[in-house]
Structure 1
């Protein structure tokens, strides 16, 4: 029997995450989420008009949780951000599959495209803030910390794409090289 229509958006997102883990993105439907949450399909539709909207909300929730956890656990260091990115990076990464599928679906839907763009800008700002805590100013004249944040985010997302399509992606070596690059930039400024 279905629960009464007193279910939070967070509970539905948790049900969607469970569906994704069990059935994959392709088989995660609004109906499957409703069944997982024990509510009517109309309840899910009330909160999320489309699967794409549900996926974007889920990506937003995962991003927010990730940044919040990163800030609480370590004060938001670049090293910890790279470690978290490395842990999410992989051939079977549900997080990145969800993110890139949402990205592709959002390109033809302006409100979702705008929302995803804001999420990426927020990540850029978080990363720029982490870099500012580490460097205080840019290690290379003419490159702002804001632009460093954008470039680091693009590097991390690009590595995620490569890992999604290449089972042999050398994740450990590449993330070690990225960490060494940032160490070198920091030390070059100071030494």
Structure 2
């Protein structure tokens, strides 16, 4: 029996995530989301006009949740938590990155998806930059702004995820341990320079 059409967007996104995990991207349908949520397809269309729009909301929700969790960390742990969060989504069968890159490909022919992904990327860049500004009083390298560091970190994380999706034995643990060591060293150098 379908629930009345009183369901939040957040509950629908939660059901859609479950559908993606169980069915995969290839078999993901708005009908399967409606069935799992116990609502009609009309309810899904009321909140999300297309499947792609729902998928974009899932990506946005995952990003927002991740940044919300990270922002509650104290300064010394911000980078460590951000790296841990990124590492948790870096794997050969990463649900998040399969979804993200599928939408990225769609954005090449769909300007609306492209604009929404651009906004998600801008938001991530800004969050990284803000967290770095809370950690660093200035950039650890002259001529490289903290904003550029935020963009570089975001690009690096997505690039590592792409490599992990392509290579089953990609060295995730080693790579992320060394990335954390790199940023801890930069922070230490910056702090020593401040003394």
**1:137 paired residue number:** 138
Q: TM-score, length-normalised on structure 2?
A: 0.92
Aligned 1:1-191 pairs, distance under 5 A: 1-74=1-74, 77-189=78-190, 190=192
> Deviation digits for residues 19-66 of structure 1, max 9, x if unmatched?
011111111101111111111111111111111111001101111111
Structure-1 separation of matches of 2:66 and 2:157: 15
> Deviation digits for residues 95-137 of structure 1, max 9, x if unmatched?
1111111222123221221111011111111111222222210
- Aligned-CA RMSD value: 1.4
Count the aligned residue pairs: 191
Structure-2 separation of matches of 1:160 and 1:53: 23
Q: TM-score, length-normalised on structure 1?
A: 0.94
Structure-2 separation of matches of 1:134 and 1:101: 34
Long gaps (5+) in structure 2 = none
| 1:74–1:80 Cα contact (<8 Å) kept | no
> Deviation digits for residues 148-181 of structure 1, max 9, x if unmatched?
0000000001000011111100011111111122
| 2:132–2:146 Cα contact (<8 Å) kept | yes
Larger mean CA deviation between 103-112 and 24-33 belongs to: 103-112
Long gaps (5+) in structure 1 = none
Structure-2 separation of matches of 1:109 and 1:186: 40
Q: Which runs of 4+ in 1 moved over 3 A?
A: 73-76
Structure-1 separation of matches of 2:170 and 2:126: 28
